């Protein structure tokens, strides 16, 4: 099977072929997801919550993401591997370049940064230095203390217009993929239609170019909590492989997410 690349992800968007993505943090799950045909695997800083048991992602260090990226890369043959730049790891230019290079050397093919227009120069600098970048807008969990909780973003006209403007600016700066988290379905549709690059949604409705879930959520094992936008695929399946297979099939067909998983 041919390895997924920035070029094939772009082609998938242009052909309306939905992109399936999951988080993973170790080689065994990465291998299983890869074998089932997941297109993108993210080593998310969600590891702070689902692996370490924290109530936010802020404690996650670059070394931790690099360690888990190395594990995931070893298990992956076909999927495109993206690693999260954790909180404060891209606060200034030099740190950003060194930290991004650590994640690329660990096995990532792209790094993901949370934030809007304040990142434009950083993104340009990374691209100039041959580091592909994924943006992340909407609910950006690293800003949870500024936002005041894990809340749906872009619900009023002013916020929605600002988010669309940020997405266009990030694309102009060179990002090659965008994660859109917890925004109304209509806004996610608008952003996905406005951008040429793939937009991957989580809690953003069915009209994005692909979907991502935190693996612990899609197996229903996140401690005492199932987000509205997620679905427990183990309920209808007897084993993990068929659960992942069903998730991929439902993303590809557009069956997931349904209205019950979307915000308005």
Residues in contact with ligand KIV, counted by CB under 6 A, come to a total of 11
Length of the chain, in residues: 264
Interface of this chain with ligand KIV, residues 5 to 44, rule: CB under 6 A: 23, 42, 44
Handedness of CA 44, 49, 50, 53 (dihedral sign): positive
Is residue 64 involved in binding ligand KIV (CB under 6 A)? no
Q: Are residues 164 and 187 in contact, defined by beta-carbon separation less than 8 angstroms?
A: yes
Cβ atoms of residues 48 and 68 within 8 Å:
no
Query: Which residues in 212-231 contact ligand KIV (CB under 6 A)?
Result: 212, 214
Catalytic site includes residue 181: yes
Site for ligand KIV in 106-135 (CB under 6 A): none
The residue among 42 and 131 lying less far from ligand KIV, judged by its C-beta, is 42
Quote the DSSP letter at residue 152: -
Quickly count: other Cβ atoms within 10 Å of residue 181's Cβ. 22
Q: For residues 234 and 218, what is the distance between their CA atoms, to the nearest angstrom?
A: 8
Distance CA 257, CA 7 (A): 25
Residue 176 interacts with ligand KIV (CB under 6 A): yes or no = no
By CB under 6 A, tell whether 202 contacts ligand KIV.
Answer: yes
Q: Please state, in angstroms and rounded to a whole number, the distance separating the CA atoms of residues 96 and 88.
A: 9
> In the structure encoding, which two tokens stand for residue 255, read together?
């069956």
Of residues 149 and 242, the one with the C-beta less far from ligand KIV? 149
What residues from 76 to 105 belong to the interface with ligand KIV (CB under 6 A)?
84
104 or 177: whose CB is closer to ligand KIV?
177
Among 34, 45, 64, 250, binds ligand KIV (CB under 6 A): 45
Of 55 and 128, the one with the shorter C-beta distance to ligand KIV is: 55
Kindly report the backbone phi and psi dihedral angles of residue 122, in degrees, each rounded to the nearest multiple of 5, phi listed first.
-60, -45
Residues within the interface to ligand KIV (CB under 6 A): 23, 42, 44-46, 84, 179, 181, 202, 212, 214
Active site residues: 181
């Amino acid at each position: 099977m041919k390895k997924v690349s920035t070029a094939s992800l772009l082609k998938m968007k242009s052909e309306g072929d939905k992109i399936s993505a999951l988080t993973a943090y170790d080689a065994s799950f990465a291998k299983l997801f890869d074998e089932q045909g997941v297109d993108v695997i993210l080593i998310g800083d969600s590891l702070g919550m689902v692996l370490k048991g924290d109530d936010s992602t802020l404690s996650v260090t670059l070394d931790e993401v690099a360690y888990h990226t190395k594990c995931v890369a070893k298990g992956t043959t076909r999927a495109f591997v993206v690693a999260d730049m954790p909180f404060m790891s891209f606060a200034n230019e030099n740190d950003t370049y060194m930290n991004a290079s650590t994640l690329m050397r660990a096995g990532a093919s792209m790094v993901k940064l949370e934030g809007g227009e304040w990142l434009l120069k950083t993104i340009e600098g990374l691209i100039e230095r041959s580091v592909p970048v994924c943006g992340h807008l909407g609910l950006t969990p690293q800003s949870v203390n500024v936002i005041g909780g894990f809340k749906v973003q872009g619900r009023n006209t002013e916020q929605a217009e600002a988010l669309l403007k940020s997405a266009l600016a990030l694309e102009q700066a060179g990002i090659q993929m965008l994660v859109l988290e917890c925004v109304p379905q209509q806004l996610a549709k608008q952003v996905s239609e406005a951008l040429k690059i793939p937009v991957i949604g989580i809690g953003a409705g069915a009209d994005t170019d692909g979907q991502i879930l935190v693996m612990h959520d899609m197996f229903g094992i996140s401690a005492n909590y199932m987000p509205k936008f997620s679905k427990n695929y183990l309920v209808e399946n007897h084993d993990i492989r068929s659960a992942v297979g069903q998730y991929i099939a439902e993303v590809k067909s557009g069956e997931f997410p349904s209205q019950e998983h979307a915000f308005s």
